[in-house]
Copies of this chain bind each other. A is one copy, B any other.
Amino acid sequence: MFFNERKTRILEAIINDYIATAEPIGSRTIAKKYDLGISSATIRNEMSDLEEMGYIVQPHTSAGRVPSDKGYRLYVDKLMPRRELTPEETAYLHSIIAGNISHVENLMRETAKAISVLTNYTTIASEPASNLTSIKHIQLLPMDESNIAIIIVTERNAIKNHMLPLDDVPDYETLTKLSFVLNDLLESNKLSDITKIEIEGLYKGSNILQKILDYIKQIMAQEDGVRVYTSGVKNILEYPEFSDIEKAKGIFKTFEEQEMLITLLGNNNENVQVVIGSENTLEQMKGCSIIKANYTYGKRDLGSIGIIGPTRMDYSQVFGVLNGIVKNINAVLYSITKET
């Protein structure tokens, strides 16, 4: 039993049909709908082989066949047409990116939203791991009579802001001077190495700097959390595989837990990556597939984006969209930067 051209055609037919209809597909249907020049009986024999080889399965004796995860894997790796973005899709994404270039958070959020609209699946997007040990810049600002703001720019150009309550808030000029001191410290040392003694020497008599440094260290310790956004969560309910409320609940629960999403998005390499059904490590996601990629602008890490749907998802379309974005974003951002 070997994998001939005819088997490939039949497997393709089954997968395409199943992606479109979510119904098990039988030999007669294939014979009628796809002009393969063979009878349903022959197709039956081939399907029997395909099942034995593990590419398709039968939900029950008297039903048609459904692709297995192994079948999808073959499809994704070998059979699936590699789509390019249509001009409309490109234009749409371009406009989204252009409208949000000034704000990375919005850019990620809106891109995710756009992908959900284009694909009708759920999109999750993460900020880059902020890793606050690599602080590039600190700025202090007065807020009100009892609070200052601490703005932190990381090496990866993420901007974080925090509030620190102080009994006695210095004015803007003083805070600016303090910011200079902090930034000087940053350039000469890793912030985590700075000892209390050094600070006393630098700015003696004041314990404000000390307080601020303690606070920043505290923030650094706490926050290596990455924020994850979801978009198009409602689309899940469009697919019959989740019409069972219990299954839907499992998915929704996962979508509300940051750590889960980070796990889902994790471990990306350069290219677009496809995780199919049972290949997922998370138990409740074994009925889903994820297509994900890192998202960069030049050397700058913008985060990761993943598109989640039922295993029966339109891999070709989604792969095309995500691949298009990853490949084109640099060009798009570059051209916009030059226009202005």
Residues of A within 8 A of B (CB): 101-104, 137, 139, 141-144, 146-147, 149, 151, 153, 157, 159, 161-165, 172, 176, 183, 215, 219, 231-234, 237-238, 243, 245, 248-249, 252-253, 255-256, 300, 337, 340
A244 (CB) vs chain B CBs: closest residue:
B245
Q: A161 touching B256 by the CB < 8 A rule?
A: no
The answer to whether B232 and A101 have CB atoms under 8 Å apart is: no
Q: How many whole Å from A328's CB to the nearest CB in chain B?
A: 18
With CB as the reference atom, state the residue of chain B lying closest to A140.
Answer: B139
Query: In the bound complex, do residue B165 and residue A337 qualify as a contact, i.e. CB atoms below 8 Å apart?
Result: yes
Contact status A161-B164, CB under 8 Å: no
Query: Which B residues are in CB contact (< 8 Å) with A147?
Result: 157
Q: Nearest-CB distance from A339 to chain B (Å)?
A: 10
| Contact B104–A163 (Cβ < 8 Å) | yes
A137's nearest neighbour on chain B, judged by CB, is B141
Q: Could you list 18 A-B pairs, sorted by A, with CB under 8 Å?
A: A139-B139, A139-B151, A143-B153, A144-B157, A146-B337, A147-B157, A149-B153, A149-B159, A151-B159, A151-B161, A165-B340, A172-B183, A176-B176, A233-B233, A234-B249, A237-B245, A243-B245, A245-B245
Copies in the complex: 2
- Determine if B248 and A237 form an interchain contact, defined as CB atoms under 8 angstroms apart: yes
Name the distance in Å between A49's Cβ and chain B's nearest Cβ.
38
The answer to whether A102 touches B252, judged by C-beta atoms less than 8 angstroms apart, is no
Given contacts A141-B139, A256-B232, contact A101 B163 (CB under 8 A): yes
Does the CB pair B231–A252 fall under 8 Å? no
Residue of B nearest to A144 (CB): B157
Task: Give the docked Cα–Cα distance between A311 and B232 (Å).
Answer: 26
Could you tell me if A102 and B162 are in contact, using CB atoms closer than 8 angstroms? yes
Q: Contacts A139-B141, A149-B159 known; A249 to B233 CB distance under 8 Å? A: no
Q: A149-B153, A157-B144, A159-B151 are in contact. Are A164 and B102 (CB under 8 A)?
A: yes
Determine if A141 and B151 form an interchain contact, defined as CB atoms under 8 angstroms apart.
yes
Chain B residues with CB below 8 A from A146, complex form: 337
Across the interface, which residues of B come within 8 angstroms of A157, CB to CB?
Answer: 143-144, 147
**CA separation between A153 and B219, bound complex, in Å?**
21
**A248 — which chain B residues lie within 8 A by C-beta?**
237, 248
Closest to A337 in B: B165
> Are A101 and B165 in contact (CB-based, < 8 A)?
yes
Task: Give the distance to chain B from A260, nearest Cβ to Cβ, in Å.
Answer: 12
CB-defined contacts of A141 to chain B, threshold 8 Å: 137, 139, 151, 153
Nearest CB to that of A173 among chain B residues? B180
Q: Which residue of B lies closest to A252 (CB)?
A: B234
Residues of B within 8 A of A233 (CB): 233, 252, 256
- Beyond A102-B163, A144-B157, A237-B252, 4 additional contacts (C-beta under 8 Å) are A102-B162, A104-B163, A146-B337, A234-B253
